[in-house]
Structure 1
Amino acid sequence: MTTPTLTPTPDIRLVALDMAGTTVADGGLVERAFDAAAGELGVEPGTPDHAEKLAHVRATMGESKISVFRHLFGTEALAQRANAAFERAYGELVGSGLIAPVPGAREAVGELTADGRTVVLTTGFARVTQDAILDALGWRGLVPLTLCPADAGGRGRPYPDMVLEAFLRTRAAEDMAQVAVVGDTSYDMLSGVRAGAGLVAGVRTGAHGDEAFRAAGATHVLDSVADLPALLRGAG
């Protein structure tokens, strides 16, 4: 159920939707891919070091993965090795058919588009992984633009860069008040707030919950992205 808000829903023309956890259900593949990456760098499962690093991965869901690995491993060379191993492992898992759309997500994108809104899919993964997900789901061409951190100068969430890049590239909105940002993590919320988006909504289908969303500045909390079209139609 949509959480009530005291502010009216703005006239949204551009919608930036996160992928894993928001429109894509990956069943914990991030943690499985992290295990592969950590193992390649000598971090053994069951050790305090592994537990500490895994806790950080969980806490930073939504952040650019290379940024996470820079924090965990300290040097650029090690971070790049870990990131490459992570992307390779995640891609293999995706290719094995272990992802699916969040129920109602594809239909929601269709409804948003039919209502005259432009939809962009964003991710904290590298382009190669994002493309693997799109291919696995048959989502090539579903939206006019997909963005990863490298497409926006290299900075992923919680920076606002991908949201701003979507605004500039699509020219679908006249100002940022007509932009909605939707995701399943506090980092999605922060990126939307920092970009000045008119609507910033957390969805309960992924990594974080209501408390984290509100602390990061969410204007709305939804059970699922499937609830978004109805929320935006209520604006008028």
Structure 2
Amino acid sequence: MAGTTVEENGSVPAAVERALRSVGVPPAPARLRELRGMPKQRMFELLVPDAIRARAAYEEFVRAVVEAVRSGTVTAKPGALSVFGRLRAHGIKIALITGFPREIRDLVLEELGWSGFADLVLSPEDVGRGRPYPDLVWAAAARLEATGVRSILVAGDTRNDLLAAYRAGVPAAIGVLGGAHDEDELRRVPHAAIISGITDLPNAIALD
């Protein structure tokens, strides 16, 4: 979601830095970039050296992102809804997958007016493990009754999105620029294509 179909306008990195500083851990920008796309609770477990402070940092992060969403900082990517409409017109089911917990995910969808729009929305807590593990992709495929991995398309703005697709056996993994990772970073992991933004997706998959 964030970075691919949703514009977080810098609120996520700011929330991570605020959370880390709240427990006395200096932000490490390179490490933070590497972890983008992962489940947020797991991210703080990797960034903070002890479990109690990691949990406290995660809770502060959730508070910061909730504040940003409610303030209107988080918006839809221009053209995202139009892309959803074109996909639906061709009978393509839509699953929105995120590394955010349900609390943030559902708030974002509510604020954007997207509640009930997608066929499925999933967070790591819905399946047990998040990206870069393949579980979210497999769960979406099962719940939407995909006929196989070749009938699935994964589009995302982070290396962990593409790694999850690769590990799930999905050949059609498309990197989307304009989010967390740049073109050089996305090209370091297996992918079928790199596009400049979500509005290029219909052309990338040859929709009429």
TM-score (norm 2): 0.95
Q: Deviations over 1:98-124 (max 9, x none)?
A: 011111111101110111000100101
Provide the rounded CA distance (Å) in 2 between the counterparts of 1:227 and 1:130.
24
Q: Which residue of 2 aligns with 1:39?
A: 21
**Structure with greater Cα Rg:** 1
Unmatched segments (≥5 aa) in structure 2: none
- The CA deviation at 1:130 is 0.6
Q: CA RMSD in A?
A: 1.4
2:183 & 2:147 partners in 1: Cα distance? 30
Answer with 182-191 or 79-88: which moved more: 79-88
| Letter of the 2:206 counterpart | R
| Unaligned stretches of 5+ residues in structure 1 | 1-18, 44-49
- Superposed counterparts of 1:17-56, under 5 Å: 19-43=1-25, 50-52=26-28, 54-56=29-31
Which one of 148, 167, 171 corresponds to residue 141 of structure 2? 167
Q: Which residue of 1 aligns with 2:78?
A: 103
Instruction: List structure 1 runs of 4+ shifted beyond 4 angstroms.
Output: none
For 1:134 and 1:77, how far apart are their aligned partners in 2? 30
Matches of 1:129 and 1:76, distance apart in 2? 22
What residue in structure 1 maps to residue 32 of structure 2? 57
Task: Name the residue aligned to 1:3.
Answer: none
Instruction: Trace 1:100-179 onto structure 2 (pairs within 5 A).
Output: 100-153=75-128, 155-171=129-145, 173-179=146-152
AA partner of residue 77 (structure 1):
I
Aligned residues: 208
Contact 2:7 2:76 in 1 (8 A): yes
Higher relative contact order (CA 8 A, sep 6+): 1
Is the Cα contact below 8 Å between 1:204 and 1:210 reproduced in 2? yes
Residue 137 of structure 1 deviates from its aligned partner by 0.6
Q: 2:193 is matched with which residue? A: 220
Q: Per-residue CA shift, 1:65-103, capped at 9, x if unaligned?
A: 111111111233222211111011101111000011111
